Each structure stands twice: as structure tokens, then as C-alpha cells.
Amino acid sequence: MWIFVLFDLPTKTKKEKRSYIEFRRFLLKDGFIMMQFSVYSRICKGDDSVDTHKKRVKAHLPSKGHVRMLSITDLQYSKMETLVGIKKEEEKLEKKQLLLF
């Protein structure tokens, strides 16, 4: 599963800039990667992990602006097209196969 955090935060005052920086730092510290400006994603092992990270994001929300979260499956993520540019190494879905003997 993948979780996306998409946000649009004001940065006109020093307090707003500080709030933006703190939120962005929290996302990075929590394992999110920046896909593009104001779009961060993180891979999770399942619904429980998604719920945990959603709770963490909600606990660190800035007081102003817009923040949205979206969770999708690996299959849905693999269907995403990159139209311009290339995927960052962190974005590439690792395809591991489990061997049973």
C-alpha cells in the first residue's frame, strides 16, 4: 500500500513558513519521500501501517492551509504514468518474489 500526502500551505509570514518547514520535516522524518513539490508518498506494509501513518500526519497538521491524504494499492501505484521526467529511485516499486521450498 502507498499513502500520499498532498498539501498547499501558506508561507507569507514567518510563522506560516515555520509551520510549513516543520510539517515538511515531519513527513521526511516519518519516511515519506518528496515526489514533487507538496506531494509526498510513503510505502506501507498494509492497512494497519497506513492507519498508523495517517494518525501521525493528523497529529502534525499545520493550523492553516489544505492537506489531503490518499492511500492506494501497489497495483494502482504501478499504473501511475510519469509523463515528463523520470521516477526517483525511492519511487520505484520493488518487485520481490518470495520463494518457498
Percent of the chain exceeding pLDDT 70 equals 89
Task: Report domain extents, the chain.
Answer: 2-80
Q: Model pTM?
A: 0.81
Q: What is the pLDDT of residues 26-64, one digit of tens each?
A: 999 999 999 989 999 999 998 999 999 999 999 999 999
Fold adopted by 2-80: Alpha-Beta Plaits (3.30.70)
Contact residues for 47 (Cβ-Cβ < 8 A; gap 6+) = 1
Q: Which amino acid is at 57?
A: V
Spatial strand order in the sheet of 66-72: 33-36, 39-43, 2-8, 66-72
Is residue 94 very low, low, confident or very high in pLDDT (cuts 50, 70, 90)? low
Predicted pLDDT at 82: 83
H-helix or E-strand spanning residue 5: strand 2-8
Q: What is the mean pLDDT of the chain?
A: 89
Residue 9 neighbours by CB distance under 10 Å: 19
Q: What is the pLDDT of residue 100?
A: 53
CB atoms within 10 A of CB 87: 11
